[in-house]
Each structure stands twice: as structure tokens, then as C-alpha cells.
């Protein structure tokens, strides 16, 4: 996470802690994302606004993130994920603002969250969901940030990569748990990871498959292994028709569950 704290310090010089807390308090109330994720129905798709990645480099030119987010919503996305990390992903808080102004569904601020300031910042810019990566936080940090997210009315997507991290997320009481198939050190994708970890997550939690999803068949495979939701970026920004791509993924998941999308 080289550069995360340096970039954070720059933003804190521009808007101090008191200022960002005031802005968060003045923002419209966060949407109840968990109510949408836990609702009966087909697989929930979190569609991502993603320009580039450390593993693939440049993915897509996205001149209008709001337009892309609107297409995702039209296709049936449950939530929109917005990368706000600039160095590795080419994102920004301006992207978050643009998407929030466009859609009526929950918006996830996806970044390396390491401080309370970032959570207030996320709420100030309209985020309803924030990402907490278990591997990047010790138990106290994880607990404190999770609690603050709830206090601010936001839902935390708690991301895990192995058995010990899954145990920590479950013990935390996380209701929305993402299994990331990408190894953070090698950046390789191991799609079998979801199936390996899903059984460790109680059925009363929402299980999210993350990373390396190439299309509807991967969604079907993950749903068959117990996924309630999936976070998809690259396949949607490179596919040419994001609305139709989201709809096809939802339909693929519905076929596995034996219901209509």
C-alpha cells in the first residue's frame, strides 16, 4: 500500500479532520445496502467503475463514470463499486461524486481504508458501503473501523483471502463478507478460493465472490458454490455493453438457483 498514507496526508492538509466530519454529517443519509443484499432474489452484482489495475494495467478509458454507472443500474446491478485509489487504479473521489449523483442504488468506495478519516471522507462523498481488507488491518483497527462504518450508517464489505482472515471476519460479526480470489502478493487469481472459504462463512451472512470473474459462467459457478453476490470490474468495463453484461450475469445466477432473474 505504498503511497496510500502519503496521499491521505495530502487530502488531510486540504480538508482537516473537523472539516471532513462536518461534511460527513451534512451528507444525505446512507442507503441501507444490507437490506438490498439480503433480499430474496437472484445473485446480486456489484458493478465496478475501474480504469486500470496493478495486474492488467490500463483496462478502459472511462470519460464519464456516471454514464457507466447508469448503464450498470439499468442492467440490474445491486450496487456500484468506485475505485478511488489513484496510483494503482486511476480512480478519484471525483469519480465517486459523479457516480453518487447518477444512481439511486448503493455506492461502494473501494480503496485501501486504513484510517477513520477515510470513512468520514467516504460518507462525505456519498458512499453507502466501504471496503475493509482484513489483511491490511490488525484486529483493533478492523474492529474500530467496522464500528465506525456502522455508526455512520454505512455497510462494510469485509474482504478475506484465506482461512484465518475468514475467521476474523466472521468473529467480527461482518454481515457482508467478500472472498477475494486474487493473491495480494502475486496478483494471481485462484478461483477455487471461494469454494474453499465459503463453507466457513455462516449462511446468515452475505457471501460475495471477488476478482477474476470473466463472465456469466463464472457467476454461475460461484452461485453453485454458495455465492449470494459478486463484485465484477474488468469483464464489465472491457465487454462493450455493460448493461447487457450485468443482466447476463444475473440471468446466469438465476438459472443455477432455478428461478427467473
Active site residues: 48, 50, 110, 159, 180, 210-211
Rounded to a whole number of angstroms, the CA Rg of the chain reads 17
Cell of 20: 471532513
Distance CA(167)–CA(36), nearest Å, equals 25
List the one residue out of 222, 202, 200 whose CA is nearest residue 211. Answer: 222
Distance CA(185)–CA(71), nearest Å, equals 33
Cell of 259: 428461478
Q: 170 near 177, Cβ under 8 Å?
A: yes
Residue 190: CB atoms within 10 A of its CB come to 15
Distance CA(40)–CA(222), nearest Å, equals 17
Cell of 30: 446512507
List the one residue out of 36, 167, 161, 184 whose CA is nearest residue 107. Answer: 36
Q: 114 near 131, Cβ under 8 Å?
A: no
Distance CA(100)–CA(107), nearest Å, equals 7
List the one residue out of 93, 88, 117, 118 whose CA is nearest residue 107. Answer: 93
Cell of 23: 461534511
Amino acid at each position: 500500500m505504498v503511497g496510500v498514507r502519503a496521499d491521505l496526508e495530502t487530502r488531510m492538509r486540504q480538508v482537516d479532520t473537523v472539516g471532513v466530519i462536518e461534511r460527513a454529517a451534512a451528507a444525505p443519509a446512507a442507503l441501507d445496502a444490507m437490506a438490498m443484499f439480503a433480499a430474496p432474489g437472484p445473485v446480486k452484482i456489484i458493478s465496478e467503475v475501474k480504469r486500470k489495475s496493478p495486474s492488467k494495467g490500463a483496462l478502459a478509458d472511462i470519460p464519464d463514470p456516471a454514464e457507466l454507472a447508469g448503464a450498470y443500474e439499468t442492467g440490474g446491478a445491486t450496487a456500484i463499486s468506485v475505485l478511488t485509489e489513484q496510483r494503482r487504479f486511476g480512480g478519484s473521489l471525483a469519480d465517486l461524486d459523479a457516480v453518487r449523483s447518477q444512481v439511486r442504488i448503493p455506492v461502494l468506495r473501494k480503496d485501501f481504508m486504513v484510517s477513520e478519516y477515510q470513512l468520514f471522507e467516504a460518507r462525505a462523498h456519498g458512499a453507502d458501503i466501504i471496503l475493509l481488507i482484513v489483511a491490511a488491518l490488525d484486529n483493533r483497527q478492523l474492529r474500530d473501523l467496522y464500528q465506525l462504518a456502522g455508526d455512520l450508517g454505512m455497510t462494510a464489505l469485509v474482504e478475506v483471502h484465506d482461512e484465518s482472515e475468514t475467521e476474523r471476519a466472521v468473529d467480527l460479526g461482518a454481515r457482508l463478507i467478500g472472498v477475494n480470489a486474487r493473491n495480494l502478493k502475486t496478483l494471481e487469481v485462484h478461483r477455487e478460493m471461494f469454494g474453499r472459504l465459503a463453507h466457513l462463512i455462516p449462511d446468515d451472512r452475505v457471501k460475495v465472490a471477488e476478482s477474476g470473474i470473466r463472465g456469466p459462467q463464472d457467476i454461475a459457478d460461484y452461485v453453485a458454490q454458495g455465492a449470494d453476490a459478486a463484485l465484477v470490474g474488468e469483464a464489465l468495463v472491457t465487454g462493450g455493453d455493460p448493461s447487457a453484461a450485468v443482466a447476463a450475469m444475473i440471468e446466469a445466477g438465476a438459472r443455477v438457483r432455478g428461478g427467473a432473474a
